[in-house]
Amino acid sequence: MDSFLMHSLAEAARMLWSLDPELYFIVYVSLYVSFMSTLIASVMGIPLGFIVAVREFRGKRVLITVLNTLLALPTVVIGVLGYAFLSRRGVFGDLGLLYTPWAIVIGQVILILPWVMIFTLSAVSRIDQRYRRTAMTLGASTLQASLVIAREARFGLLAAVIAAFGRVIAEVGIAMMLGGNIKGFTRTMTTAMALEHNKGEFVLALALGVVLLTVSLFMNIFLQVVQGRYGSAR
Amino acid sequence: MSLFVLKDVQQIFKGRTVLDLPELVLEAGQSYALLGPNGSGKTTLLHILALLHAPAEGRVFYKGREINWKANYLTPIRRELVLVDQHPIMFSTTVVKNVEYGLKVRGFNSAKRRQTAMESLERVGMQDFANRPAHQLSGGETQRVAIARAMACSPEVMLFDEPTASVDVENQAVIEKIIESIRKEKGITVIFSTHKRLEASRLAENRIFLFEGKLTGPGGDNLLPGSVVRRNGRNVCILREKVEVEISRVPEGPCRVLVNPEKVRIYSMDRAGKMFSDGLIPGKVLQMTADGEYIKVLMDIGFPIRSVMTRQEAAESGILVGDEVMVAFDPGAVQPAP
C-alpha cells in the first residue's frame, strides 16, 4: 500500500513537472468551470441570502428548511434533471449546451446556490443589529447600511465562497453527466480520475487526486490570504 | 415651530404597548432628559425620535412636517439627527475610519473627512487613538469615540441612550462635559435618557418622565403599580403586591400611583423602636445623594422607593447608606397617577 501511495505521489509530481498539456488542460477546465459556477452562485446567492437574513416575510422558515434540504441534493440528481432540460428533447435543448463546460457550470450553480445562501444567511444573522442601526443613524441609506453589514460579515461570506468552490471542484456527478467527460473539452480532474479508475489505472487516478488536492490547497491559501488581508482593521 | 411633535404615538412589540404618548412637543436648541425605570419606553422613544423605527400608531412631525416613514424619504432627514447608543458598536476598522463613516456616506472627500474626524476626536480627547483598531477600545473610550463619530456628522439634534450608564466614573465626568459643551457651544438640541436624576438636573433644561410607556409627572421616579382593595371601610392600595398604604378616591382594582417622596418618612431602628410600629415598613438605605439643600434617599422596601429630606433632617436622623430603617407614609403620600 505504501509503495502504491508513494508511486502515485511520484507520478503526480512527474505529471506536474513534465508540463503535460493534456493534464494542464484538465486542470484548466476544472478551475474554469469551478470559478465560473462559484462566481455566478456568489453573485446570486450572497444578495439572496442577505435578503432572507435581514427581511421578515411569510414563509421564511419554510424557505430556510427547503434551502437546508437542498444542501443534501445529490449531484447525480442535478445531473439527471439537467440532462432532461438540456438534451435535444429538453426545454433548453435548442441552446446546444449539453456536453459543454457551460452545462457543467449551470449544474454546479444549482448545486452550490443553496450552500452560498445558507452560509450567507448564517453569517449575516450573526451580525449585531447595532451595526445596521449605527450606520442608519450616521446617515447611511438602506444600501449603504447593507454594505456595512456585508463588511462586518465578510469572514462568513468568504467562507461561503470557499466552501462553494471546494464543493464544485470536487464534484463528479454533474461534470460527468452534463459535461460528458470529452477529452480536451469538458474533461475535469474528477471525471478524468473516474475514467482512469475504470480503466484500472489506479496510480494515475490517485495522482490526479493529488493534483486536485494540491490545486485546492493553493486556492484555499490564496483565499485565506485575501481573508487575512481584509480581515485586519484598516 | 417646534422641532418634534408626536401625536397619539404608540409603539407595540409582540402585542404589548411599550410606548403610548398622546402628545409630546420638543423645542429646538433645548436639552431634554428622559427619565424613568427600565422598560419605561425611553429607548423606544429615542429610536422613534432618531427616525430609526416607525411607531405602530400615531404621527411624528419634525420641523413642522409629518414624517413619511418610507426609506427613501427618511435618509435626508435622518442625516440631521444622530443617536449614540448605550453600548455603541464600532465598525471593525480603525478609530478614525469609524469617525469618518458619517462623512463618507454624505460624499465628503477623503481630505475633508480626515480633517473633520480628527477635529471631532480632539474634542473628545481621543486624537491619540485615531489609528488604533476600534474594537480594542475600553467601554468609556468607545463611548467617547461614538460621540466623536456622531459629532463629525454635524447634526442638528443629538440623542444619547444612557450615555454614562456603562462607563467608569472618570469617563462619566468626561462624557457629561462633552455633552454639556455640545449643548452650549454648538447649540445642538440634546435629548438623552438616563436613570440619574442628578445627571438630568445637571445636563438638561427639561425633564420628561416615563413610566410603563406613558408620560408621568415629576414624581415619576416613585410611580408604582398597585391594586386598590376595600378593607374595614377604607381604601387600601397594595403597592407592588407587597406594601399596603391607605389611599382615597380610587375605584377598586389595579392602578398606577405616585408616591410623593416628601411624604415618605424614614426612621432609624433606634427611633422606630420607641414608636408605635403599626404602619412602619422595614427597609434598607441604598443610596443618598445631595441635591442642593435636599438629600435624596433611595431605599429598598421590597421594591425601590425614593424619599427626600432636608440636610438638617438627614443630619438629625443619623441615617447612612446601608442602614436598616423603618419607613412610613404620611397621609396623602400616595395619589393616583394622572
Closest CA to B188 of B240, B261, B123, B274: B123
Is A233 in contact with B134 (Cβ distance < 8 A)?
yes
Is B78 in contact with A135 (Cβ distance < 8 A)?
no
Edge-first strand order for the sheet with B57-62 is: B16-26, B4-13, B57-62, B65-66
Is B105 in contact with A134 (Cβ distance < 8 A)?
no
Q: What is the mean pLDDT of chain B?
A: 88
**Higher-confidence position of A190 and B248:** A190
Cα separation, A145 vs B19, in Å, equals: 27
For residue A204, count CB atoms less than 10 angstroms from its CB and return exposed for 0-12, middle for 13-18, buried for 19 or more.
buried
Is B153 in contact with A139 (Cβ distance < 8 A)?
yes
pLDDT confidence of A223, banded at 50, 70, 90? Answer: confident
Q: What pLDDT score does B334 carry? A: 85
Cα separation, B336 vs A220, in Å, equals: 69
Which residue shows C-alpha cell 470529452?
A182
Is A128 in contact with B89 (Cβ distance < 8 A)?
yes
Is the pLDDT score of B219 beyond 60? no
Cα separation, A70 vs A64, in Å, equals: 10
| Domain ranges within chain A, ordered by starting residue | 2-225
Least confident of A46-50, B45-49, B276-280, B294-298: B276-280
Which residue shows C-alpha cell 444549482?
A110
**Shortest CB distance from B92 goes to which of A142, A144, A152?**
A152
Q: What pLDDT score does A1 carry? A: 53
**Higher-confidence position of B37 and B141:** B141
Closest CA to B117 of B92, B143, B95: B95
Cα separation, B79 vs B104, in Å, equals: 12
Mean pLDDT on A50-60: 92
Chain B partners within 8 Å of A143 (Cβ): none
Q: What pLDDT score does A110 carry? A: 96
Provide the percentage of residues in chain A whose pLDDT is more than 70. Answer: 96
Cα separation, B299 vs B321, in Å, equals: 9
3-state DSSP assignment of residue B33: strand
Cα separation, B261 vs B329, in Å, equals: 9
Cα separation, B223 vs B334, in Å, equals: 10
Q: Would you report the helix, strand and coil content of chain A in percent, each value rounded to 5?
A: 80, 0, 20
Is the pLDDT score of A231 beyond 60? no
Our CA-based measurement puts residue B236 at a distance from the nearest CA of chain A, in whole angstroms, of 46
Mean pLDDT on A144-172: 92
Whether residue B96 contacts residue B130, with contact meaning beta carbons closer than 8 Å, is answered with yes
Angle between helix A21-54 and A154-170 (nearest 10):
140
Cα separation, B139 vs B163, in Å, equals: 11
Size of interface A-B (CB pairs under 8 A): 63
Cα separation, B229 vs B244, in Å, equals: 10
Mean pLDDT on A208-212: 84
Chain B partners within 8 Å of A233 (Cβ): 92-94, 133-135
Our CA-based measurement puts residue B204 at a distance from the nearest CA of chain A, in whole angstroms, of 22
Cross-strand bridge partners of residue B265: B328
Phi, psi of A102 (to 5 degrees): -70, -30
Q: What is the largest CA-CA distance in chain A?
A: 66
Cα separation, A38 vs A40, in Å, equals: 6
C-alpha cell at A102: 457551460
DSSP 8-state symbol, B152: T
Is B88 in contact with A138 (Cβ distance < 8 A)?
no
3-state DSSP assignment of residue A120: helix
Whether residue A115 contacts residue A167, with contact meaning beta carbons closer than 8 Å, is answered with yes
Residues in CB range of A98: below 8 A, 6 or more apart: A83, A86, A87, A88, A90, A178, A180
Closest CA to B291 of B201, B180, B164: B201
Whether residue B144 contacts residue B178, with contact meaning beta carbons closer than 8 Å, is answered with yes
- Picking from B82, B101, B129, B131 by the largest number of A CB atoms within 10 A of its own CB, the best residue to mutate is B101
Q: What pLDDT score does B203 carry? A: 87
Our CA-based measurement puts residue B67 at a distance from the nearest CA of chain A, in whole angstroms, of 16
Chain A partners within 8 Å of B81 (Cβ): 137
Is pTM beyond 0.80? Reply is no
Residue of B nearest to A230 (CA): B93
Cross-strand bridge partners of residue B184: none
Closest CA to A108 of A163, A159, A45, A36: A36
DSSP 8-state symbol, B67: P
Whether residue B265 contacts residue B327, with contact meaning beta carbons closer than 8 Å, is answered with yes
pLDDT confidence of A93, banded at 50, 70, 90? Answer: confident
How many H-runs (helices) and E-runs (strands) does chain B carry? 9, 20
Chain A partners within 8 Å of B145 (Cβ): none
A112-151 per-position pLDDT tens digit: 999 999 999 999 999 998 999 999 999 999 999 999 999 9
Closest CA to A166 of A74, A14, A61, A35: A35
Measured over the CA atoms of residue B134, residue B136, residue B142 and residue B148, the dihedral's sign is negative
Angle between helix B139-151 and B169-186 (nearest 10):
10
Is B50 in contact with A137 (Cβ distance < 8 A)?
yes
| CATH code of domain A2-225 | 1.10.3720.10
Closest CA to B57 of B44, B76, B71: B44
Our CA-based measurement puts residue A138 at a distance from the nearest CA of chain B, in whole angstroms, of 5
A71 touches chain B (CB under 8 A): no
- Picking from A138, A143, A147 by the largest number of B CB atoms within 10 A of its own CB, the best residue to mutate is A138
Is B52 in contact with A137 (Cβ distance < 8 A)?
yes
Cα separation, A234 vs A196, in Å, equals: 49
C-alpha cell at B96: 478614525
Q: What pLDDT score does A233 carry? A: 44
Cα separation, B161 vs B152, in Å, equals: 18
**Shortest CB distance from B85 goes to which of A130, A135, A144?**
A130
C-alpha cell at A197: 479508475
Whether residue B189 contacts residue B156, with contact meaning beta carbons closer than 8 Å, is answered with yes
